[in-house]
Every structure is written in structure tokens, then in C-alpha cells.
Amino acid sequence: MITVGIYGIPDATHGTRPVYVHDHALALMRDGRVLTVVQLERWSGVKHDNRLPTLVSGILSRLVPPDEPVRFVSVNSFVGSAFVSADGNLRIEPRREVGISAEPVPAEVFWYPDGVRRRPVEGWVLCHEAAHIASILPFTGCFETGDLAVHVDGGASRSSSSFWRIQDGRPVLEEASWDLLKDVVNNFSVNPGVRAILGFRPEDHLAIPGRLMGYAALGRPDHDLETWLRERRWLLDLEDDQAHILLEQRLGTIDPHARPCMDFCATLQHAFEEAVTREILRRAPDRRTLYYAGGAALNIPANTRLQQHFDHVWVPPGTNDGGLALGAAAWIEYLEHGDLPVHGPFLNRFDVPDGEPGLEAVPDVVRLLLHGKVVGVCNGPAEFGPRALGHRSLLARADDPAIRVRLSETIKHRAWYRPVAPILCREAAEEVLEPLAVRSHLSRWMLGAWTVRPAWHDALRGVIHADSTVRAQVVGEEDGNDWMRALLRTLWHEHGVPGLINTSFNGPGQPIVHRLEEALSTARTLGLDGVVIHGSLHRR
């Protein structure tokens, strides 16, 4: 029996960019194991693609065997609970209202794979909030009774934040709110003051959070400014021109290089960290394990603060809406089978070779990197989630700021204020980073910020951010990343190089590359010095 998880609710508006619904995805599981995730943007090459209703029939015809039993579970959102394909061949409609609960709602499924004959299948609809929480299961295998699970994002089905207690291995809703954290989360996507400072338009809201997080580290929180902003609801009620005028009156010239503008954004980041940390901690008296998901869980400084208060913090690698389909499928499998097998992050398995490549090219790649070259990597299945974790990465030396500028700003055209992350093998991380970086699950998927021991600052000066931390990924044996681990261990043990710059393998405005042929063409376009394609090195 294959379980197909779907997140594909149509957007409520029309236009060239998503407004409310984005990052559509589909996931296939069998007997508790993930067969593949299809993050739609990786299938289509369109960033934040929300056209699953148009593309779903073609995807299912390729990935679902015609003779195997199938069941569907769809994830709703605040703009609707029914999924209907554009060709009408698949309809998933809940039989009753979908509330905030971990109980899947039975659905009527009308599926005509060939457009003529209906194929009988079971189906459910799972609420958005519960699907976020369940997206952790493929990486933990289970939930521990008594622990806390939290979702925080811009908007789910009926809330922007929800708090769940694990009872008998299942999350039970304790509280959900639309307003509790809504404003501090919205500051990272739709704040008009941020748009004025960083030069964005309202339709760029999906591009803003990562940039704001990096830029905010350049400034310092200002208590008086925060009070002023709270009195004006963070400017969220203003049009862009109104916010621009008000900001000029308060800050002076609006210029991203100006300190008052940096402090404005640092104040928003500080308010977010304070609010999220406060609300989570007051619901977690024992502070053992936190399961935390939703788009807000991509905020690295906030994650790191939470990790300081809990024994364990689990954030899935696909914590944004691109993880909802996997969460839905995993929840149905968990209800049937109990504890699931624990997976690594490389779950986009369609149209690529499975398994790890050979290591023959590692010595040549080491030589290129030591000579200051930039090398792309496209090995095996691709990462699940928005972060490059070693299978779809651009790599370079981490000790030279000039190399960082070439890679981040010249090759990838990223903003000057955005940090780049290092990737280290566990043995190097144990000597170079603070102990928490090695112990925390957050470091496995580049979801935390860590301090570097002073003796190693020069070796990582190209990746230490303005707040004196690194957004490091630590590669151990548990995630099935043997090629990258071999490369990093060679650099560490034979050359004393603790880590590399690791940023995502994609061009400006494009999703991370997926198929091998995409990697070759993108490498040429970006002007990389070399690219590894499933273990084989291609030089420019």
C-alpha cells in the first residue's frame, strides 16, 4: 500500500507569484519508509511553485504503480480544504469540517487516472498544523510522551501558532492562536519598513525572511524603537509609501548601509526571538524535548536560543510548507505502523541515481578547493527542504573572505549582508566549534548558529557572520552523506582545513538544482571551476 501525501491547495489569487499558498509538494511512502518526496519546485524548476493541481496527474502517472493499492492524504490551509486537480481527474474532499486536530478527517476521493475509469482509493484530509508537526516523524521515528510540539508560521488552517502535548505517542492540541505570534512572524515577510530598507516589493514576501535574518545581525536591538514600533503595530497596517515616510522621520535616510536601518531590523529579529522563546518556554516546564516546525523554525538565531533551554530540539529539514505533504503521509503511516524508520534528509529521490557515489574524485576535488576554486556537487538523491546539505551544494574554502564574496555575491548574486554557512565533519567540529554545536540536532541540517573557538577564527573567517557565529552543518555518519564526509575528513586530517563554505547549488531566483543534467548546465551558467556529478568530476 502506497500512501500519497499532497499539499496542493490552490492559491486564492492570480498572478505570477504565490500570494497565500506556496511550496506545493507530494510525498510517497510505503510500510513506514519514504519512497520519494517531490518538492514541486524541484520537479518544475519554478521557485516556490504552487501549481500542483496542474501538474499532479502527470506526476502520479509516473510515480504510482498502476497495480498497487493507494491511499491519499491531503493537507488543508486557511484558504481551503478541498484539493481538485486542474484536469478534474483527482478530487479530495473532506466529509466534514477540518478542525485543528491530529485526527485525519475522512475524505471522498474521486480519482480517474486515465480520465475515464474511477480508481477506488481511501483518503483523508489532515489539518495544516498537525502536518507541520508530523513532518518531524521521518527523522525521529516517534514522539516521546510528555514532550512539547509546536508549530509557528504565517498562517496554517486556523492558526499561526499551535501548541501540542504528546500523549501516548500522539500530539494532542493544548492551544492554538491566530494572533498570539502573528505580528512578529509577519515582520519577516510583509513588514513595509523592511521592504523600504532592503528594496523589496510586496510580491517578494517569500524572499524576505532569509535576507532579513542575515541583515538583522548587523544591527543592535533598540528598546525605544521597539516601543515606538509596538505602538504602531510594527507598521503592518501601513502602505509602503506611508511606512517609508514614517521611517525617514524616525531613522533619517533609508539606506541599508546606515546603522539606524540595521538597528530597525535587529529590533524586529529581537522581538521575534523574545516572543517565540517566551511562549514556548512557558508551556514547557520540564524542557526535555521540543518538536518545532513551521516556516518560523527557519529562523536560526531563535532556534539557537531555544536549544539553550531544552535537552533536545527537533526541527525537520523541510520545516516550511514544502514539508507538509511528507508530514501528512508520515502521520498516516505512523498511525498504522507505529514507530517509523529513521531517515536522513536526502528524500527528493525522483529522476536521480539512488545511493552514494564512488569516492575516486575526492582527491582531485580537494586540490581544486585548496587552490581557491569553487566546486558544485550534485550527488544522488537531493536534500528535503530549503537548505543545501551536501548533495546539492556549492563548495569553497572558508578561510578567505574574497572567496566568499566571489561565491556568494559574484556567482550567486546574493546580497552583501547575507551570511554563508560552513560544513564540517564531526571530528573537526568537536575541536573547532562550541560543544553544543556537535550535540544539537539543529547542526545536522544547518538550523542553528554556533560560536567558533578563538584559535580557529582565521581558518573560518570567510563564514563567521556579523554576530560572531557560524550557521554550521556538522556531518556525521547518521545522515547517509558518505561522499561529503570523505571530502571533509580528508581536508581535516590531511590538510588541517576544518570546513568549507556550503551554499545551495542554484542560480539567482531558481530552486536548488535536482537532476544531473540541470547541474551541468547550471554549473556552466554560474561559471563554476568544477562540478561533481554523482561522483564524477567535470572541470571547466
Q: Which residue range(s) make up the domain with 531?
A: 362-539
Q: What is the CATH number of the domain that holds 23?
A: 3.30.420.40
Identify whether residues 100 and 217 lie together within a single domain.
no
Tens of each residue's pLDDT in the chain, 540 residues = 999 999 999 999 877 789 999 999 999 999 999 999 999 999 999 999 999 999 999 999 999 999 999 999 999 999 999 999 999 999 999 999 999 999 999 999 999 999 999 999 999 999 999 999 999 999 999 999 999 999 999 999 999 999 999 999 999 999 999 999 999 999 999 999 999 999 999 999 999 999 999 999 999 999 999 999 999 999 999 999 999 999 999 999 999 999 999 999 999 999 999 999 999 999 998 899 999 999 999 999 999 999 999 999 999 999 999 999 999 999 999 999 999 999 999 999 999 998 889 999 999 999 999 999 999 999 999 999 999 999 999 999 999 999 999 999 999 999 999 999 999 999 999 999 999 999 999 999 999 999 999 999 999 999 999 999 999 999 998 888 999 999 999 999 999 999 999 999 999 999 999 999 999 999 999 999 999 999 999 997
Q: Do the domain assignments include residue 70?
A: yes
* pLDDT per position as a tens digit, 150-205: 999 999 999 999 999 999 999 999 999 999 999 999 999 999 999 999 999 999 99
Give strand pairing partners of 272. none
- 388 with 325, same domain: the answer is no
Residue 475 located in a structural domain: yes
Domain containing residue 434: CATH number? 3.90.870.20
The CA-atom distances, in angstroms, between 505 and each of 2, 357, 532 are 31, 18, 11
Q: 85: left (phi > 0), else alpha (psi -120 to 50), else beta?
A: beta
Is residue 346 one of the residues assigned to a domain? no
Looking at the fold, whether 379 and 473 belong to one and the same domain comes out as yes
Task: Classify residue 205: in a domain, yes or no.
Answer: yes
**How many Å separate Cα 362 from the centre of its chain?**
28
Residues 6+ apart with CB under 8 A from 384: 37, 39, 317, 318, 322, 323, 326, 345, 346, 347, 348
331 and 394 assigned to the same domain: no
Smallest CA-to-CA distance from 188 within 269, 77, 258, 292 is with 269
Alpha carbon distance 273, 494 (integer Å): 40
Inside any domain, residue 45: yes
Co-location of 328 and 219 in the same domain: no
Helix (H/G/I), strand (E/B), else coil: 387: coil
Q: Residues 498, 396: one domain? A: yes
Query: Which single residue is written with the C-alpha cell 540536532?
Result: 441
- CA distance linking residue 362 with residue 481, whole number of Å: 13
* Domain total of the chain: 3
Q: Note the pLDDT of residue 355.
A: 80
Boundary residue ending a domain (240, 257, 272): 272
Question: Backbone dihedral region of 235: left (phi > 0), alpha (psi from -120 to 50 degrees) or beta?
Answer: left
The reply to whether 208 and 116 lie within a common domain is no
Other beta carbons less than 10 A from residue 66's beta carbon: 9
Strand 70-75 with 122-126, pairing: parallel
- Kindly state the cell numbers that stand for 191: 513588514
Claim to verify: residue 267 and residue 399 sit in the same structural domain:
no
* Judgement on whether residues 7 and 85 belong to the same structural domain of the protein: yes
